[in-house]
Amino acid sequence: MSPASDHDAVFVARRRFFDEGRSVSGIIAAPILRSWERCAGQGLDVSRSPSLEPPTAYELRELQERHARLSRLARPELDALQGDARLTGSVVVLTDTAGVLLDMVGDAAFAGRAAEVALRPGVSWNEAATGTNAIGTALVERQPIVVHGAEHFFEHHRILACAAAPLIDPRGNIAGALDMTGPAAIRHVHALGLMRLAAEQIEHRFFSEGFEHCTMLRFHADRALVGTPREGVLAFADGVLVGANRRGLDLLKLDWSAIDRARLATLLPGIRPSDQIQPLRGPEGSRLYGRLRDAPRRPSRGGAATAAIAPPKGEIEPILGEEMLASLSRAVRLVNAGIPLLLLGETGSGKDVFARRVHAESDRHAKPFVPVNCAALPQGLIESELFGYEAGAFTGARRQGAPGLLRQADGGVLFLDEIGDMPLSLQSRLLRVLQDKQVSPLGGGKPVPVDFALICATHQSLSTLLAAGAFRQDLYFRIAQYVVERPPVRHHPDRLALVRRLWRQLGGETAGVELSDEVERLLAAYEWPGNFRQLVGTLRALMVLGEPGQPVDVSALPSEIRAAAPACEIVFSAPPPTSLAEQTRSALQAALDASDGNVSRAARRLGIDRSTYYRRLLKEKDRGL
């Protein structure tokens, strides 16, 4: 972790580094210097403040819904830290993998000051956007770090004192970050320790979901700490290590490269499942204590009436009609045969859940499902995150290297979401992996064979990207050997039935909360630009606002749904566009209308960049938009 640099030394270092271009090694903390070097190398101008545009209310809600699981698992720590933050005039924030703020609690007065420098939910604080700061630098360095006052790259951020710890998931991937930020005039000597402890507790809670069919080892060198958040945790599937926390790896002197390779029988010979804590012999004869609980028996997968695989806890699965169930069946057969799938559909239409269903029903169900959001990987780290790297491959690399996400998917399913956002430079490397079935890590390491089924997804028009030269044609034909389209909610044949069924799935009827006829009518008539994600989020909000025994009133609906009410009946009764050109024209105009004529916002609503939106808008106007 980063020790705080001496106050006077920081100003000397800034003058030498930024004004004179001289070396400052040894004057400030090494992680801070590495971050300054990265930021300068990316062309950031220290004399200018970063331009950070806050998201719209809709974009923020969509972001928070997308990371609902992380927010839920971190909520106990945020609640516990809220008191400490208020006492010290600070705020505590939770971010996603790209450093985008998801939640903030603490001192309201300081939160107002922090908002002046864009420290607010929905804004990205990764290094590429905001320079050296505790959140972005902790994500790059993969270690807890303090960034105080003038250690920040941009002078505008000198008012802040920040301490952040990255959150590492059981597969060794960055899941987000937890940060405490306060005024730089106060030394928050306890902040880093609080963040480290809270991060450890959140990482421990990661194992509460998704490992129900694993053999679990919980252990520690101190018998009294077994069963607490301080324990080491290892998860095994068929005797192979598939998940761990950092303490568990440290206790057995392992690193993340052990995932999908190390075997329980080799690590701890002779260990047997038991509900009792038992003594264990660790590396070099060290004494450990632990409890090994065997995996529950997996239900039979045979027979014609195989039960539907449930989506990840906390998510509602988009309803599959007969046509989509047939597509699911075909997709499973194709994955079993090693044929890549491409899922097309708007944001929120359930592509991720469909991919998980395919994995769960395939022959690879016992092996990892590794989702990769190509649009969310931190800029500058995409290549190392995907392909892995050897020890010392670049400044800030982990000493033991890292296997990368492609190798983590070995034997299972790799899901490349938003494949259209993958940089062109990496598309050629991915194509080589798919052709050769081996990965070459950064730093010149020996190629490693990999075997995974590939599912890709995008909400973008790949044909448009192909025409613009932004997507490789050879890669497209490699990944699009079978295409499945997820229809948007507005094309659902019976939206009223859909709303009622989702309400039942969410537990509205069980809770005794019901929707009024008028509310149901408006929900069924609304266009739902955010699709299932937006619809489910709205229904959850109505459940919270509703009172048992009383119908939920129209006044509880979000303002955008109430505002659309006069036009709803016309939209609801109209047939969907009959051609791709009509759909394109309709989507472009609808996004522009919903954004009050603001092209930048309209482009963000559609998930494309501003220049692409302009090109399509001009093209459709020529056709008579």
Say whether both 479 and 567 belong to one domain.
no
- Report which of residues 373 and 569 the model is more confident about: 373
Instruction: Report the distance separating Cα 316 and Cα 311, nearest Å.
Output: 7
Do 580 and 463 touch, CB atoms closer than 8 A? no
- Report which of residues 256 and 328 the model is more confident about: 256
List, edge to edge, every strand of the sheet that includes 91-95: 101-106, 91-95, 174-183, 160-168, 145-148
Residue 557 has pLDDT above 80, yes or no: yes
Residue 540 has pLDDT above 60, yes or no: yes
The CATH number covering residue 463 comes to 3.40.50.300
Least confidently predicted of 198-202, 400-404, 524-528, 580-584? 580-584
- pLDDT for 382 equals 58
One-letter amino acid identity for 219? F
Instruction: Report the distance separating Cα 132 and Cα 99, nearest Å.
Output: 12
- pLDDT for 307 equals 30
- pLDDT for 394 equals 41
Say whether both 183 and 101 belong to one domain.
yes
Average pLDDT in the 577-584 region?
Answer: 51
**How many domains does the chain contain in total?**
5
Say whether both 348 and 439 belong to one domain.
yes
Residue 277 has pLDDT above 60, yes or no: yes
483-486 and 514-515 strand pairing: unpaired
pLDDT digits (tens, 9 = 90+) for 399-425: 444 667 888 888 999 999 888 888 887
- pLDDT for 103 equals 92
The CATH number covering residue 554 comes to 1.10.8.60
Residue 594 has pLDDT above 80, yes or no: no
- Domain-located, residue 1: no
Residue 314 has pLDDT above 90, yes or no: no
- Domain-located, residue 298: no
User: Percentage of the chain with pLDDT > 90?
Assistant: 26
Choose the final residue of a domain: 457, 486, 515. Answer: 486
Residue 542 has pLDDT above 70, yes or no: yes
Per-residue confidence at 303, pLDDT binned at 50, 70, 90? very low
- Domain-located, residue 329: yes
Say whether both 403 and 536 belong to one domain.
no
- Report which of residues 589 and 497 the model is more confident about: 497
Please, what is the average pLDDT of the chain?
80
Say whether both 365 and 425 belong to one domain.
yes
- Domain-located, residue 312: no
- Report which of residues 188 and 577 the model is more confident about: 188
Per-residue confidence at 9, pLDDT binned at 50, 70, 90? confident
Say whether both 109 and 16 belong to one domain.
yes
- Domain-located, residue 299: no
Least confidently predicted of 23-27, 317-321, 405-409, 500-504? 317-321
- pLDDT for 568 equals 45
Per-residue confidence at 297, pLDDT binned at 50, 70, 90? low
Global pTM value: 0.52
Say whether both 52 and 104 belong to one domain.
yes
- Domain-located, residue 314: no
- pLDDT for 51 equals 77
Least confidently predicted of 2-11, 152-161, 279-288, 300-309? 300-309
Say whether both 285 and 399 belong to one domain.
no
pLDDT digits (tens, 9 = 90+) for 30-48: 999 999 999 988 888 888 8
Non-local (6+) Cβ contacts of 16 within 8 A are 22, 23, 24, 27
- Domain-located, residue 309: no
At 563, give phi and psi (nearest 5°).
-65, -30
Residue 206 has pLDDT above 50, yes or no: yes
Say whether both 475 and 512 belong to one domain.
no
- Report which of residues 620 and 3 the model is more confident about: 620
Question: Among all chains, which residue has been given the structure tokens 């303490």?
Answer: 247
- Report which of residues 427 and 308 the model is more confident about: 427
Total residues found in the chain within this entry:
625
- Report which of residues 499 and 622 the model is more confident about: 499
End-to-end CA distance of the chain: 56
pLDDT digits (tens, 9 = 90+) for 452-484: 999 999 988 888 888 888 899 889 998 988 888
Say whether both 416 and 561 belong to one domain.
no
The CATH number covering residue 143 comes to 3.30.450.40
Per-residue confidence at 135, pLDDT binned at 50, 70, 90? very high
Choose the final residue of a domain: 486, 508, 525. Answer: 486
- Report which of residues 563 and 568 the model is more confident about: 563
Could you list the residue range(s) of the whole structural domain that residue 48 is in? 7-201
Say whether both 479 and 500 belong to one domain.
no
pLDDT digits (tens, 9 = 90+) for 370-400: 888 887 665 555 566 677 655 544 444 444 4
**Residue whose C-alpha is closest to residue 534's, from 338, 344, 350:** 350
232-237 and 215-220 strand pairing: antiparallel
- pLDDT for 550 equals 80
Choose the final residue of a domain: 139, 169, 201. Answer: 201
- pLDDT for 326 equals 65
Say whether both 495 and 538 belong to one domain.
yes
One-letter amino acid identity for 615? R
β-partners of residue 145 are 164
Residue 312 has pLDDT above 90, yes or no: no
How many Cα atoms are found within 13 Å in the side-chain-facing hemisphere of 595? 20
